[in-house]
Structures are given as C-alpha cells and as structure tokens.
Amino acid sequence: MDTSVNLASVNVTSGETILRRAGDRGWLIECADRHPAEVATSIRAQPWASALREVVPAARTVLVVAETAAGMGELAAGLRTVLDGPGAHPAGPPPGRRIVIPVRYDGPDLPGVAERLGLTPEEVARRHSAGEHRVGFFGFAPGFAYLDGVPESLRLPRLSSPRPRVAAGVVAIAGNQTVVYPGGTPGGWHQIGVTTTRLWDVTAEPPNRLAVGDRIVFEVVTP
C-alpha cells in the first residue's frame, strides 16, 4: 500500500468531483457534473481496471472496489486521471443499445397525473414517449432499473403512501425517472401504463435485459 498518506479517512477532490474512501478496498466517487454511468464506463476502459472487483454506478456516485487493499493510493491517482483528464466532461453517458418498449398508457394513476399537470392523459403519454430514457443505474430490487429522462413538464414527487405490491411490467414515473417494475416489489411511483415486455426473467441468461447506458424508447400502443 502507498504509505505516503493516511488512507483511512482521506478525501481527494478532483474539481467538483470528490473521492471518499469506502472500506479498505474501495473509493466512492461523488459525481458533480458528470453522469455516473459515463464515469463507470471510463473507469472500466482503463488498462488497470483488471485489478478492480466492482465498478458500481448509482444516482450520483460510483463505487470502485479493488481486488486487494494494496495500492489504494495508486488507484486514487488513476481515478483522478480519469476524472480530470482530456474529455473528462462529456455531455452525457456514452450511447448504449436502443431498446423499444411498447406501453399501453392506461395506468391507474394516469388520470390523476394528467389533472395535476393540467394535461390530458393522451398528452402525458405523448410527452413521456417522445424522447429517449437512459438506464442510469440499478437498485432497490433485482432488475429494478432507474431510467433518466422524464421531461420537466411531467415531473412529480413520489406518492405519499406506496402500494405494498406492484405487478411486473407496470410503467411508473417519479421526479426525472421512469421505472418498469420487475414484479413483486412495493412501489410509490405514479403508475401511468403497462408493458408486456419482460425485462427481468430469472430463467434467462442474463436475467436482466437492460444494462447501464441503454437508451429506452417507449412506444404508445392502443389499449
């Protein structure tokens, strides 16, 4: 291990991005103006990435875990190079696969969402399906993908009381994100539609159809 600094509690600032120690083998990157998915992709592309056990993007952070506790100072230097080097501030995450998901916009919360926003249900569906939504990260439950890209005009806070169980395929929104529920989980998002496309299947290999960085297009289908 690099013994020139005390790595037990060191925080390393790279511009507006901060690296914090996470255990004896990890660094947590607090992203500022960069998309965590893009940061994670850049790290995985480095020649020293083979020494890493995990690179996990989240909503505003990236967790980098090394295979061993040796060389954590050198790892921090490598991460600083990624964060501060040429091309360190692209407009967004790198292009992923383009996946079209058909949606029947007839969810139980759609009328209430439309009323709160001063729109018709049809206009909510049109605006939600007009652009691309990117897979930012996974969390909460297996197959639970957080999709960035809900337009400003459709953003609402989560429900005050979550439902105890939401079926697979339900399409829901909250804030700037959309989720397609994998099934069997509680849910406090506004349910605006449903898809028959199966995105999480434990019998498939891999079970998760989506990956971080994928570009999702929701296609309106007639109920």
pLDDT in tens, 142-175: 889 999 999 999 999 999 999 999 999 999 999 9
- 89: pLDDT strictly greater than 80: no
Q: Each residue of 22-59: pLDDT tens digit?
A: 999 999 998 877 778 888 888 888 999 988 998 888 87
Question: Which of the 8 DSSP states describes residue 200?
Answer: B
Q: Each residue of 131-142: pLDDT tens digit?
A: 999 998 888 888
- What does the block give as tokens for 177? 């994100």
- 192: pLDDT strictly greater than 60: yes
Q: For 140, what's the count of Cα atoms within 13 Å in the CB-facing half-sphere?
A: 16
The answer to whether the pTM exceeds 0.75 is no
**C-beta of residue 25 within 8 angstroms of C-beta of residue 53:** yes
All structural domains of the chain, each given as residue ranges with its CATH number in brackets, are: 11-84 (3.30.1360.40), 98-221 (2.40.100.10)
Rounded CA separation 137/192 (Å): 21
Which H helix or E strand runs over 81? helix 72-84
Beta bridge partners of 61: 30
